[in-house]
Amino acid sequence: MKKITTLAALLLVLPAAWAGSEDTYAEFKAMMDRSFQTNGIAAKHRMYQLDFQKACSVEKQPSKQVMAQIEAAQLKTIRYPADGKYFGNWKEGEKIAVSGRGLTWTDQTPHNNGGGCYNCHQMSHHEVSYGTIGPSLLEYGKVRGNSDEIVKYTWGKIYNAKAFNACSNMPRNGDAEILTEQQIKHLMAFLFDPASPVNQK
């Protein structure tokens, strides 16, 4: 418990360290390097902010110009399915969406990670509890249809939401290797398949 509390305290000061001088951040990073190590698939590098994250960690939101630059750069990171197929199995997608598991040192591989989607989105009329940070996904495919444009947009949003909103709270599921391409396909099916609970009342 003490280690978790210490880590939480360190992560809280990370934005402040970024906002200060480069020397301040260098000292902070050196301390993190001394204090933590990669263990299994829990990689230490995930604790360090990237440049675009730094811009969104200050009190004032970045200018429209800076936001546009970040989004353009992040858009280039999106990799669409190599085989051109966007959909997997919605039942597997549901398991991923309601699972918060993953990226801990006890996990053997990243292939059993969850998406934790329920933390921020409502996805079914039958859910007992759900997060409200993100928009409701109820009847996602039923309302939006499955045009090439909306399918590609949805894939991109799951893969790297920062490409559409630089300071989005949504994780970079594909770009940050939280979920695999196949897992994203399953999530896509969960959102679009007419038989999925997302599109049923």
Sequence length of the chain is: 201
Q: Residue 100: its pLDDT value, please?
A: 84
- CA 162 from chain centre, in angstroms, equals 9
Same domain for 67 and 94, yes or no, is no
Are 114 and 187 in a shared domain?
yes
What is residue 4's predicted lDDT score, i.e. its pLDDT? 44
Do 100 and 189 fall within a single domain? yes
Last residue of a domain, one of 52, 75, 98: 75
Domain residues for the domain of 126 are: 90-199
Q: Vertex 104, ends 198 and 36: CA angle to 5°?
A: 140
Any domain includes 165: yes
- pTM as predicted: 0.81
For residues 50 and 101, membership in a common domain is answered with no
Whether residue 134 sits in one domain with residue 104: yes
One pLDDT digit (tens) per residue for the chain, 201 residues: 444 444 444 444 454 444 456 677 788 778 888 888 887 777 777 777 778 888 888 878 899 999 999 999 999 999 999 999 999 999 999 999 999 887 777 777 667 788 999 999 999 988 888 899 999 999 999 999 999 999 999 999 999 999 999 999 999 999 998 899 999 999 999 999 999 999 998
Neighbours of 128 (CB within 10 A): 5
Q: Is 95 contained in some domain? A: yes
Q: Which of 75, 103, 121 is the last residue of a domain?
A: 75
pLDDT of residue 5: 45
> What is the Cα–Cα distance from 32 to 63, expressed in whole angstroms?
30
Asked if residue 123 and residue 71 are part of one domain, the reply reads: no
Cα torsion 11, 13, 15, 19: sign: negative
Give pLDDT, residue 45: 73
Query: What CATH number has the domain bearing residue 95?
Result: 1.10.760.10
- 19 and 94 together in one domain: no
Last residue of a domain, one of 46, 75, 104: 75
